[in-house]
Structure 1
Amino acid sequence: MKPEDLLPIKTFQQLLDESKAKLKELKFRITNLRPGGVFHTLMEIGHQGLADLYSLLGKITPQIYLDTATGFWLDFKAADYETYRWPAQKTLGNVVFGRNAPGGNKIIDAGKIVATEIDLSGNRLKYIVAAKTVLEAGQLEVAVPVKAEFEGAAYNVGAGQITFLLTYIDGIDYVRNDDGWITREGTDDEDDESLRARAKKKWNTLSVGPGADAYRYWASQVPGTVVIDVDDQHPRGQGSIDVIIASTSGIPTQSLIDAAQAMLDKKKALCANVLAVGVEPVVVDWDVILYVDHELADLNEEDRTEQLAAIKAQGEEIIDIMFQYGDTEHADIEKISIRYGVIREQAIGNLLKIDYVIKPVINQPAADVPVTSRQLAVKGTVNVTVLIAS
C-alpha cells in the first residue's frame, strides 16, 4: 500500500456528484443542478477548492515517510536521523605545468585556466589555478594546485585528459595531469536513493557494540566515500576491523582515506582497532572494435571520416563513464559493478547504444574481470577502432 492510499482522496467530479446526490436526498428547494446554472456554478467554485485540498493531501502524505519522501522533504526527514545530504563539491588537484627547455623563474598566477579537449557535445572541462606558483629557474616542470570550474564528479578525469592551457603564460609550453593528480574528489549533489539508504543505516549505529553496518554507515558520512566492504573477521589480529573504501571517482585519495579514518576514530568503541583502507586497483585495458552500419559507406569521404571519428569518440567516452562510480548524469550507461568487476556483456550493451553501431567486439579484456572485496576495477588504456561492416 502506498502512503497516499491511506487517505480517501476524492476528485472534483466525485465531490460534485456526492453533493448533488445529498441535495436531492434532502429535497433541496433548488432543483436546477445542471451545468451552466447559477447554483451549479457556485457549487463548482466551492468544490474546486476542496478538490485542490484533497490533491495536496495526496502529494504531502508520501513526504512524511522516509521510504517515499523526495527532495527537500527527504532532507528534513533524514535530518531526524542526523543524516544530511552530501553537497556537490569541486575537484581539487595538481596539474603539471612544464617547458621544453630550462629558463629563469616563471610565475604562474592564480586564476589561469587549463582544460580538457572539447567533447562530442561541444563542452570542455575547465580548471582554475588555485594559488600562485613559481616554476623556478633551471626546472622544467612544477605541480600547480587547481580547482574545477564547477562542482561535480565529471571533473574527476583520468590521467592525461587535461592538456590545454587556455590562458597564455609566456614560457609555459605544456600542461598535463598525471596519475594520482586528484587531491579531493569532486562530487555531485547526493541523489535521493543514496541519502535514503544512509538514513536507514543510522539504526545500525545505536547498538552498544557497533557491528559492520555501523562502521559502514559512519564511513559513508564522509562526502565522496563509497564503502566497498567491512572486514570484521580480525584481518590484522584479534579485535581488528578494516573498512574498505573507494571514492565516487574510483581509487580514493589519501585525503579521503584520512577523512574516513577520522570519522571512524570519532565514532568507534574505545577498544576497537578500526582502519580505513583504500581499495586496490585492478587495471583493465580495453581494445574494442565497433562495426557500424554499411550505410555509412555511401557517405562522401569527408562526412564518412567525420562520422567514424565521432563514433570512436563516443565509444571512448562510454568506457570512461562506465568507470565513474559516482556518476549520476548518465543513468542510461551501466557502470562497472563494484562487487563483481567488469562484465563484458554489460560493456557490449552500453556500446550498442551508439548510433550506427551494430556489433561491438571486445578483444581486451578477453574475459570478465572479477574483483575481490578489497579490489576495484579501474580504467587502463583504451583503444577503439571503428570499421564499416561488409
Structure 2
Amino acid sequence: MKEVDFKRIMQQAGIPTDSYSMQVKLESILENSDFVINNKSPMSPFWRLQKAMVTEPALDLINTLATQIMPNSFARLAKDEWLDLHGDARKLPRLTEVKVQGHITFSRADTTSALVIAAGTRIHSIPINGVVYTLVSLFDTEFSANESQVQVVVQAEFSGKNYNLSRGYYVYLEESIEGVSITNNDDWLIIAGQDVETNENYQLRFRDAFATLGSYHVDSLYRTIIATYTGISADNIVFDKTAPRGPGSVDVYLYLDVGQVSQALLDRVNDYIAAGNHGDGDDLKVFAVPLSSIDIDVNLLQHINTQDKRSDIEQFIRAAFRQNNDYQPTRCKPDALFSFSQLEAELHNNFPEIKSIKFANNNIAPSLSLPLPDKVTFL
C-alpha cells in the first residue's frame, strides 16, 4: 500500500512543519502586524520564549495531526481503535477471536467393555517451537462394548488460529488411559479458531463491503459474506468463474492460514448462503482448496557440536505448508509458485546450527491446490 506523506500535504497547503519554517511564519505574521523585533537572533530572549510557548507545542500538534489524526481519518490507513470507529460508523464490526472446536478420534484395541471418556479430558499437541496446545473435551463420550473408535467433541483451551493444527498433531492425553490412543484427522475441525481480526484483513473487508458497482461487485459481495461468516481471511478466498456447472455458475475455494478446511465448515457456509444470502438466480457453491499429498526429502548438515535441530526444522517446513503457525516462513498459496530455494534461505536465517540444507524436491508449480506433506525425511 502506497504511503501518504501528510506532512508534505500540509507543507503544500502553507502550514509550517519544522522549527525554521515556523519561525519564518511567525516573523511574517509579526511584521504584517507592525510588531518590530530588533534582535532576530534565534537565541534572543524573545525567540526563545516564542519557541517554548508557541513553536514547540505547535510542532507537536502538527506532528500528531500528520502521523495520527490525518491517516486515521481514512479507513484505508486507519489502525486499531481508529479503524474500529470506522467500522462502527458503517455497521461493520471487527471479527472477534474464536476458540477451535473439533472432533478428536479416540481408538482402543480392547473392546470387551464400555468405557467413558469424561468431559474435561485434556489433550495435548506435540511440542512445536517449545509450545504445546491443549484441547478439552466438552461432553462425556462412551465407548460401547465392541466399539473400537469414538469421536470426542473438543474445544481449545484458548482462542486463536494456532490451534487449527493439521492432522496428526494432537496425540497426547494429559492423563493417559490404558490402551487408548488419540489423533486429529484431516476433517477434524468443526469451527476453525481465529484471532482478533488484523487491521489488514479488516481493511480488505471494508474494501469488499463498499466496493462500487462494477465487474468485481459480485466477487466483493460474496467475499464479504464468507469472510464475515467464517472468519477466514479475505485473501484466502479464491473464485473459479469458468462456469463449472454451466452458464452463470461459480465455485468458491477456501483455505486457512493454519490447518485444513473441514466439511463441517463448508456445510455451514453453504447452508448460510443457500438460506437466502445470495443474489437471485445465483449458482454458487463453496469448496475447500484441494490438497495434494507430497513427500519432502531434505539433505541436512549441521555445524559440529550443535544441538540436533531436525525436529524444529521439520516443524518450520510444515509451517510453510500451513500445518502449524509457530514459525513464519513464506507459506504456500494456491495458484502460486512455491520455491524450495527460498525455504532453504529462510531456514538458514532461522537456524544458525545449519551448515548446509538442500531439498531434493523441485519447486511446486502453480495450481489450484495446496500441497500437504505426508512425510519429511532427512537424508
Q: Secondary structure at the match of 2:226?
A: helix
Asked whether 1:202 is paired with 2:193, we answer no
Assess if the C-alpha contact under 8 Å between 2:124 and 2:171 holds in 1: yes
Asked whether 1:355 is paired with 2:352, we answer yes
Asked whether 1:324 is paired with 2:337, we answer no
Q: Secondary structure at the match of 1:63?
A: helix
Asked whether 1:6 is paired with 2:9, we answer yes
1:72 to 74, 81, 105: 81
**Alignment match, 1:51:** 59
Cα deviation for residue 103 of structure 1 reads 4.5
Q: Hey, what's the Cα distance between the residues in 1 that align with 2:218 and 2:323?
A: 26
**Alignment match, 1:188:** 195
**Alignment match, 1:381:** 375
| Coordinate RMSD, CA, aligned | 3.3
Cα deviation for residue 60 of structure 1 reads 0.8
Q: Hey, what's the Cα distance between the residues in 2 that align with 1:245 and 1:205?
A: 24
**Alignment match, 2:365:** 370
- 1:107-166 Cα offsets, whole Å, 9 max, x none, are 322222110223343x21111112222223343332211111112222122222212211
Asked whether 1:287 is paired with 2:281, we answer no
Q: Hey, what's the Cα distance between the residues in 2 that align with 1:260 and 1:207?
A: 25
Q: Hey, what's the Cα distance between the residues in 2 that align with 1:262 and 1:220?
A: 15
Q: Hey, what's the Cα distance between the residues in 2 that align with 1:39 and 1:97?
A: 79
Cα deviation for residue 43 of structure 1 reads 5.7
**Alignment match, 2:262:** 253
Gap runs ≥5 in structure 2: none
**What letter matches 2:284 in structure 1?**
V
Q: Hey, what's the Cα distance between the residues in 2 that align with 1:229 and 1:176?
A: 30
Cα deviation for residue 32 of structure 1 reads 10
Assess if the C-alpha contact under 8 Å between 1:250 and 1:376 holds in 2: no
1:278 to 282, 288, 292: 288
Asked whether 1:107 is paired with 2:116, we answer yes
Assess if the C-alpha contact under 8 Å between 1:107 and 1:133 holds in 2: yes
- 1:334-353 Cα offsets, whole Å, 9 max, x none, are 11132225332232222222
Q: Hey, what's the Cα distance between the residues in 2 that align with 1:165 and 1:197?
A: 40
Gap runs ≥5 in structure 1: 386-390
Q: Hey, what's the Cα distance between the residues in 1 that align with 2:324 and 2:77?
A: 23
Closer, same or farther: CA 384–71 of 1 in aligned 2, 3 Å: farther
Assess if the C-alpha contact under 8 Å between 2:165 and 2:324 holds in 1: no
Q: Hey, what's the Cα distance between the residues in 1 that align with 2:7 and 2:30?
A: 29
2:144 to 132, 136, 151: 136
Q: Hey, what's the Cα distance between the residues in 1 that align with 2:324 and 2:376?
A: 21
**Alignment match, 1:388:** none
Assess if the C-alpha contact under 8 Å between 1:95 and 1:144 holds in 2: yes
Q: Hey, what's the Cα distance between the residues in 1 that align with 2:320 and 2:166?
A: 13
Q: Secondary structure at the match of 1:143?
A: strand
Q: Hey, what's the Cα distance between the residues in 2 that align with 1:19 and 1:85?
A: 45
1:161 to 141, 165, 169: 169
Closer, same or farther: CA 116–227 of 1 in aligned 2, 3 Å: closer
Assess if the C-alpha contact under 8 Å between 2:165 and 2:323 holds in 1: no
- Give % identity: 19
Q: Hey, what's the Cα distance between the residues in 2 that align with 1:32 and 1:381?
A: 75
TM-score, normalising length: structure 2:
0.82
Q: Hey, what's the Cα distance between the residues in 2 that align with 1:81 and 1:340?
A: 34
Cα deviation for residue 38 of structure 1 reads 9.3
**Alignment match, 1:178:** 185
Closer, same or farther: CA 9–149 of 1 in aligned 2, 3 Å: farther
Q: Hey, what's the Cα distance between the residues in 2 that align with 1:372 and 1:164?
A: 35
**Alignment match, 1:220:** 227
Cα deviation for residue 279 of structure 1 reads 1.8
Closer, same or farther: CA 326–9 of 1 in aligned 2, 3 Å: farther
Asked whether 1:269 is paired with 2:279, we answer yes
Worse-superposed segment, 94-103 or 179-188: 94-103
